[in-house]
Amino acid sequence: MSNTKLKGSGGFIIADITEEEAKKADLGVGELFIAPVGKIDEAKISKYYCKVCDCEFDQSPKLSIENPNEALGQEMILKEIGQYLCNKCNSKVGEYREFEKL
């Protein structure tokens, strides 16, 4: 599924994703979202839109990954926080969080 629009809190990205990823991204509200998909390879992102800049860029946003490995209780660990950041203003276009159950 090429040129798929995925929404984030601060804009959207246009990416080439698999059908499986598209299913995850679909929260049943007629739009697809970055957060439930998890990490998308920067090479598969052709464009993004930043709300702060109010501008579209023909490139991937920067992907910043943290691994807090933070225990959240109930045997859940916050494994990874990935943020897609605007190359121009550094604001967050979207993010995902990966959890692991012990």
CB of 54 to Zn ion, least distance (A): 8
Check residue 33 and report its DSSP letter: B
Q: Which is nearer to Zn ion, 23 or 62 (CB)?
A: 62
* Complex with Zn ion: residue 10 or 21, whichever CB lies closer: 10
Cβ distance to Zn ion smaller for residue 32 or 50 = 50
What sign results for the dihedral spanned by CA atoms 97, 25, 21, 58?
Answer: negative
Sites of contact with Zn ion (CB under 5 A): 50, 52-53, 86, 88-89
Minimum CB–partner distance for residue 56 and Zn ion (Å): 10
Tell me the C-alpha distance between 99 and 59, whole Å.
28
